[in-house]
Homo-oligomer: A and B are copies of this chain.
Amino acid sequence: MDIPSHDLERAVGQFALLPGIGRKTAMRLVLHLLKWERKDVDAFADSLHELAANVRYCKTCHNICDGEECQICVSAKRDHATICVVESVQDVMAIEATQQYNGVYHVLGGIISPMDGIGPQDLEIESLVARVKAGGVAEIILALSPTMEGDTTSFYIFRKIADHTEVAITTLARGVAQNDQLHYTDELTLGRSILDRKPFKS
């Protein structure tokens, strides 16, 4: 596709660097931006400049935040003895959205994945072990994705902190999802949910 303007070409190229956005979509987005007022496009661009300049990661849990520590880590209302270990900032937001958790977090920044060349040393695992060693931790919840990579990462972390017998190590419940049709649930999940059956509560 021959692009008739150098600046257009450049902006399209930048958008096309984003994941899931090809050159055709990038062109559609940029041509949409051209319909905006100039000040609105500038506001868009400024928001990216400020993002790059200002966003920091919490020194304790590695969640995204504006200052030194995130609002969850500095909150006196949270249970600092319970640490929920997650892969990414999105997972923190997803769990926070449930309003069912009152502990703190530890964001690994990824998951062990030899295929993508990501090993334990690329993740915030040592800093998690340091938090456990520092004491005051009663429970570590391993809340990683129920995939092979997630399970591998959970197992790796488990071995690193298993010596600390004072710390309970738990993981998310697995089973049939709320509102799922039973006959569409995959065999592995359904089989495990029968083995892990629980007393019925009315």
Contact = CB atoms under 8 A, between A and B. Distances in A.
A73 to B, nearest CB: 10
A66 B5 contact: yes
Contacts of A31: 88-90
The quantity of this chain's copies bound in the complex is 2
A34 B63 contact: no
Nearest to A2: B96
A38 B53 contact: yes
Given A1-B93, A32-B19, A38-B52, A66 B27 contact: no
B18 A29 contact: yes
A118 interface: no
A42 B54 CA distance: 12
B14 A19 contact: no
**A-side interface mostly:** helix
A71 interface: yes
Counting chain B CB atoms within 10 Å of each CB, the highest count among A11, A36, A90 belongs to A11
Contact of A42 (B49, B70, B88): B49
A97 B96 CA distance: 49
B4 A63 contact: yes
A2 B33 contact: no
Nearest to A29: B18
Contacts of A46: 45
Interface string A13-32: 11001111100010111111
A10 B4 CA distance: 32
Interface of A: 1-8, 10-11, 13-14, 17-21, 25, 27-34, 36, 38, 41-55, 63-66, 70-72, 88-90, 92-94, 96-97
5 contacts: A4-B70, A4-B92, A11-B47, A14-B48, A28-B90
